[in-house]
Amino acid sequence: MATGRFIDPTTGERIERELTPDEIAAITETDAQRIARENAEAEQARRGAFQAEADPLYFGWQRGENTEQAWRDKCDEIRARYPYQ
């Protein structure tokens, strides 16, 4: 069973005790919560990578300095680096 360290509010004494099932449930991440968190992290990482890496290639392609394929390859690379669940 999991244990936790607490401070007794009345005495200020530090105590260590087993966590109750409700306490465990409150701190345990469900699979759905984990997936949602990981997807949000991936979305944020993708956004930054697209702005820093893919957007310059896209605008370069629009100006005739790069190829469309270079931009598409970079987009695929970013999606593979930060996959969604």
pLDDT in tens, the chain (85 residues): 577 787 878 888 888 888 888 887 777 878 888 889 899 999 999 999 999 999 999 999 999 999 999 999 999 999 999 999 8
Q: Which amino acid is residue 52, in one-letter code?
A: A
Tokens 């990482």 belong to which residue?
A: 45
Domain that holds residue 75: 3-81
Considering its fold, how many domains does the chain have in total?
1
Q: pTM of the full predicted structure? A: 0.66
Could you give the CA distance from residue 68 to residue 70 in angstroms, rounded to a whole number?
6
Q: Is the Cβ–Cβ distance between 85 and 35 less than 8 Å?
A: yes
Angle at 69 between CA 66 and CA 74, to 5 degrees: 90
